[in-house]
Chains A and B, each alone.
Chain A
């Protein structure tokens, strides 16, 4: 048996000749420049966060009243003039909230950035370097791990005169990196043993390149979740500090509002408008950051990416979630879906299809 050999170029079809689809070619997936934004969680989280950032910038300017100024309307529920009511001194709660946003966001993000940077540098270095460096850095991490952040902040802020937001942010940042550093160290330890990292090392790539191009992309999800976690922690810490009256009460943040609300027994006097807005603001900020965190997880890990629709209606009429091991059956009719051409095919000019003579041995 011989098979006519033909050169490869001869037979590779031009794309045009092949482009006659059997049934309509499926619509090409839309190319998206901002793929991250196509994730609904990311969109929601980023929009909420953008609103907070905007308020942090323009809040003090658009606030209708001076947050500290006393007024004549004491303990008024929300009204047209005071959107979120007033305090026992007649201060406008809405203005307090607006003015307080800047400090909260600032402390949250500064602390988050400081802590994340430290944890990446220390965690990845210690995981990748190994040996003495690893031990030294691990000891450092473990020491910081057991330092209770909040009492330390209380002490530092009470020692420093006029401890402002920056001091609070930096103290939170410098004390809260250790947990993430440990997680990153563990993850780096596991990653650096993977084949592709070994291969990169074997081909002579520098450590810096291995860390930046091979390891860090794999750590993105961990780093992002660490960042988001630290921001939430920092926000809560600052609010806690203000709430228990540690930080100076002449700067406004959401904690200060809660501090006064608590001090004046807003709950007992059923002045819900005093503390609910600040509490909601904290909760929604946390939600937005978590949504962004989920979205980053899905974005960097293709496996988590939800592939569009996952619920599907099967032939038995049930709606099931697609999962491995129980492939849904859309239809079990024994009829063929694409019908092959009828046979035999008679040429219009009367010739029956000819079996071409082939050389058989």
Chain B
């Protein structure tokens, strides 16, 4: 495997302080490799957005990071812990090293400024020595990259469609050529055709520019198609992490199987669609043992008593994947 670009080690994120705190992300270990698309899936409230905002320190109060490390490996130079950066360091780090495309990002465009102004704004802040004309050239180039005609530079946001605005946002995120791009359900508000188009473009851009992507969504079918690896979250923990194809073909964790069982395949034999019964766990009173066991159709004795660790399963492709489930006990924990 290639070298890592972002390593999350035992990240814990809480909302609130003291005994009122609710832990939304629990001991998450995750490694993003250079140039890969890592999908982060899970149902609402599983902590995927909190994880993404926690590792970039973008959580709104009362969110706090209660433990862990986020090691960033820059292209040149030594790796450093993002959680230790000073406020000024964090400001420099953002956008230039990691960029985020938020949920419903297309509404983040200011309606009274032209697209060009908003695109060059970030260049002005991060690269003050750049000349006006080269800034505009870069912005035009970015628009072309995301598939918008450069003559739209002088358009106002309301003159663009939702998909175009979303692409402008993606272009804006990429304008400083960050190493890591975090996308939090960037296409949720768009129709499937537009989703596909934008994601296709994103993959193409990634191949050309070589950044890594953390892609957060609850749409597992989308991830299976576009990502290299998929991490499934449940109740604030990562319960399974594997190459996309492995997840799709034989998911090991019953929760992943439940997620996969909830959308139909286009080809192949007809099978019964089954959702996951029950509802997400209450983060204030997590069930003992594996947090999924009250809803798990395959729960057995150890599930209610002990928390399974993420480890390599004893399957043929076990070296490249990990799962936290008592069905696949492991001698070699990860992280």
Report the bound CA distance from A69 to B66 in whole Å: 70
Report the bound CA distance from A242 to B276 in whole Å: 75
How many interface residues does B have (CB within 8 Å)? 75
User: Contact at A25–B284, with CB atoms within 8 Å?
Assistant: yes
Tell me which residues across on chain A come within 8 A of B9, comparing CB atoms: 334
User: Contact at B297–A360, with CB atoms within 8 Å?
Assistant: no
Residue of A nearest to B29 (CB): A336
Q: Does B261 contact A (CB under 8 A)?
A: yes
Cβ 8 A contact of A332, one of B84, B271, B327: B84
User: Contact at B54–A327, with CB atoms within 8 Å?
Assistant: yes
User: Contact at A1–B257, with CB atoms within 8 Å?
Assistant: yes
Q: Does A344 contact B (CB under 8 A)?
A: yes
The prevalent SS among residues of A at the interface is loop
Tell me which residues across on chain B come within 8 A of A324, comparing CB atoms: 58-61
Assuming the contacts A328-B64, A337-B67, A340-B309, asked whether A5 and B10 have C-beta atoms less than 8 A apart, the reply is: no
Residue of A nearest to B56 (CB): A327
Q: Smallest distance from the beta carbon of A177 to chain B beta carbons, Å?
A: 34
Cβ 8 A contact of B66, one of A17, A29, A325, A337: A337
Tell me which residues across on chain B come within 8 A of A3, comparing CB atoms: 254, 257-258, 261, 274, 297
Stretch at the interface among B162-170, B175-183, B204-212, B299-307: B299-307
Q: Which of A1-21 contact B (CB under 8 A)?
A: 1-8, 10-13, 17-21
User: Contact at A329–B307, with CB atoms within 8 Å?
Assistant: no
User: Contact at A343–B311, with CB atoms within 8 Å?
Assistant: yes
User: Contact at B329–A353, with CB atoms within 8 Å?
Assistant: yes
Q: Does A162 contact B (CB under 8 A)?
A: no
Q: Smallest distance from the beta carbon of A26 to chain B beta carbons, Å?
A: 5
In the complex, per-residue mask of B206-232: 1 if CB is within 8 Å of any chain A CB, else 0: 000000000000000000000000000
Report the bound CA distance from A325 to B95 in whole Å: 13
Q: Smallest distance from the beta carbon of B229 to chain A beta carbons, Å?
A: 20
Assuming the contacts A307-B61, A337-B67, asked whether A17 and B278 have C-beta atoms less than 8 A apart, the reply is: no
Q: Which of A301-331 contact B (CB under 8 A)?
A: 307-310, 312, 315-316, 322-331
Report the bound CA distance from A163 to B230 in whole Å: 81
The prevalent SS among residues of B at the interface is loop
Q: Does B203 contact A (CB under 8 A)?
A: no
User: Contact at A332–B81, with CB atoms within 8 Å?
Assistant: yes
Tell me which residues across on chain A come within 8 A of B153, comparing CB atoms: none
Report the bound CA distance from A360 to B20 in whole Å: 43
Residue of B nearest to A347 (CB): B301
Assuming the contacts A4-B297, A13-B294, A327-B64, asked whether A337 and B27 have C-beta atoms less than 8 A apart, the reply is: yes
Q: Does B250 contact A (CB under 8 A)?
A: yes
User: Contact at B61–A337, with CB atoms within 8 Å?
Assistant: no
Report the bound CA distance from A309 to B196 in whole Å: 45
Q: Smallest distance from the beta carbon of A228 to chain B beta carbons, Å?
A: 28
Report the bound CA distance from A77 to B66 in whole Å: 61
Report the bound CA distance from A355 to B90 in whole Å: 46
Q: Does B49 contact A (CB under 8 A)?
A: no
Report the bound CA distance from A6 to B299 in whole Å: 13
Q: Does A356 contact B (CB under 8 A)?
A: yes
Tell me which residues across on chain A come within 8 A of B284, comparing CB atoms: 21, 25-26
Q: Does A345 contact B (CB under 8 A)?
A: yes
Tell me which residues across on chain B come within 8 A of A1, comparing CB atoms: 250-251, 257, 260-261
In the complex, per-residue mask of B245-286: 1 if CB is within 8 Å of any chain A CB, else 0: 000001100100110110000000001101001110110111
User: Contact at A323–B257, with CB atoms within 8 Å?
Assistant: no
Cβ 8 A contact of A26, one of B10, B22, B254, B314: B22
Q: Does A358 contact B (CB under 8 A)?
A: yes
Q: Does B63 contact A (CB under 8 A)?
A: yes
Tell me which residues across on chain A come within 8 A of B278, comparing CB atoms: 8, 11-13
Report the bound CA distance from A312 to B16 in whole Å: 11
Report the bound CA distance from A99 to B37 in whole Å: 78
Q: Which of B44-66 contact A (CB under 8 A)?
A: 53-54, 57-66
Tell me which residues across on chain A come within 8 A of B114, comparing CB atoms: none
Q: Which of A87-137 contact B (CB under 8 A)?
A: none
Tell me which residues across on chain B come within 8 A of A12, comparing CB atoms: 277-279, 294-295
Question: What are 19 sample pairs from A and B whose C-beta atoms fall under 8 A apart?
Answer: A1-B251, A1-B261, A10-B277, A11-B277, A11-B278, A11-B295, A12-B294, A18-B285, A26-B20, A322-B62, A325-B57, A329-B57, A333-B10, A335-B10, A337-B27, A340-B324, A341-B307, A343-B311, A358-B327
Q: 13 extra interchain contacts, Cβ-Cβ under 8 A, other than A3-B274, A18-B294?
A: A2-B272, A5-B274, A21-B286, A26-B21, A312-B64, A316-B84, A324-B58, A327-B58, A328-B65, A330-B64, A332-B69, A337-B10, A355-B327
- Please list the residues of chain A having a beta carbon within 8 angstroms of any beta carbon in chain B: 1-8, 10-13, 17-22, 24-27, 29, 307-310, 312, 315-316, 322-338, 340-341, 343-345, 353, 355-356, 358, 360
- Please list the residues of chain B having a beta carbon within 8 angstroms of any beta carbon in chain A: 9-10, 12, 16-23, 26-27, 53-54, 57-69, 81, 83-84, 87, 90, 250-251, 254, 257-258, 260-261, 271-272, 274, 277-279, 281-282, 284-288, 294-298, 300, 302, 305-309, 311, 314, 324, 326-331, 333
